[in-house]
Amino acid sequence: MRIFDWHCDSIIDNVMFFDQTLAKNDGQVDLPRLQAGGAFVQLFALFGFHEPRGYKGHADDPYQGKLYTPWEHVLVQYDVFCREMKNFSDKIALATCVSDILENEKMGKISALLSLEGGIPTEGKMERIDALYDMGVRLITLTWNYETPFGFPNSKDPDIMSRGLKPFGIEAIEHMNEKGILIDVSHLSDGGFYDVAKYSKKPFIASHSCCRALCDHPRCMTDDMLKTIGDAGGVVGVNFYSYFLNEGCEYTSIDDVVRHAKHIADKAGIEALAFGSDFDGIQGSILEFEDYAGMPRILQAMEKHFTSAQMELICRENSMRIFRDVVG
Ligand SMILES: [Zn+2]
């Protein structure tokens, strides 16, 4: 069975920072492993820094003699992404709509989707959202771990956690709904989450999140949030980071992933369950299944709990449905 995965950090983290390529690298995602694991669609995040950074992401160590603003850094990452797509165009290609995905599949290629993770590079300008759309970005994660022009991040501080979207965030939701960009609530404050639920007229997504009832971490979704996403026709991509699966644990077992997947299906509905691996963003965890090539081991374990029709929904159809509903 082939897999739609809603989040990895591979472009910035291995390809850029370690001068590697998708042909083969030391991270968790490259073309041989995507192929071995059964990739159908892989989303690649462009990362939004909160302050100027060098090429390698260090604030104080400008590589190639230059510090880039958060927006400039997104453009540099985008250039690297385009280089990779061009160099391996026989195996992988950007998709910006459902027909691109289906066309790529017909040609035997993996589809790559683009997102922006963390809204700081937008600087609160709607034309930045338009520029990202023109680059092919079809999902925006409104915050990473910092305040952005959209709103506030998840936090252990109840005051920050309760804060809703900012006026630009509310306006941007309407704009993203109209343009066909998915709104991603992973990393967002609980207050921001409920504002997205209130203002978005389209289904929305938690691209890489787990369940707070099973692991009490503010990055995880409460049962009520899971149900809210499911009721809105959205999806939740289960994240493989051990600290979101088990409090304070550095090891990700296949059973942990299955446990959270089952809980998402239970609270949000089977039609809301998807994958959001977070590969190459979760180097702090030791994974039982190692990397993308280990995905079939997760599917095998899930097949004990889900029917083959349900597995088809989880691996592919739920994600295709929301992509079709929002992006087209
Ligand atoms: Zn993330």
Q: Which residues contact 262 (CB under 8 A, 6 or more apart)?
A: 305
How far apart are the CA of 236 and the centre of ligand 1, in A? 13
For the domain that residue 202 is a member of, what is the CATH number?
3.20.20.140
Q: Which helix (H) or strand (E) holds 82?
A: helix 70-87
Bridge partners, residue 137, by sequence? 114
Q: Which amino acid is at 64?
A: Q
Q: What is the pLDDT of residues 74-121, one digit of tens each?
A: 999 999 999 999 999 999 999 999 999 999 999 999 999 999 999 999
Per-residue DSSP letter, 235: E
Residue 63: is its pLDDT beyond 90? no
How far apart are the CA of 273 and the centre of ligand 1, in A? 18
How far apart are the CA of 154 and the centre of ligand 1, in A? 11
Q: Which residues contact 124 (CB under 8 A, 6 or more apart)?
A: 149, 168
Confidence of residue 64 (pLDDT cuts 50, 70, 90): confident
How far apart are the CA of 219 and the centre of ligand 1, in A? 9
Number of domains in the chain: 1
By CB neighbour count within 10 A (0-12 exposed, 13-18 middle, 19+ buried), where does 107 fall?
A: exposed
Q: Which residues contact 310 (CB under 8 A, 6 or more apart)?
A: 265, 270
Q: pTM of the full predicted structure?
A: 0.97
Pair of tokens at residue 4: 């739609």
The pLDDT of residue 260 is 98
How far apart are the CA of 79 and the centre of ligand 1, in A? 21
How far apart are the CA of 124 and the centre of ligand 1, in A? 20
**Dihedral angle over CA of 299, 302, 308, 313, nearest 10:** -80
Contact predicate 274/4, CB 8 Å: yes
Q: Note down the domain range covering 184.
A: 3-326
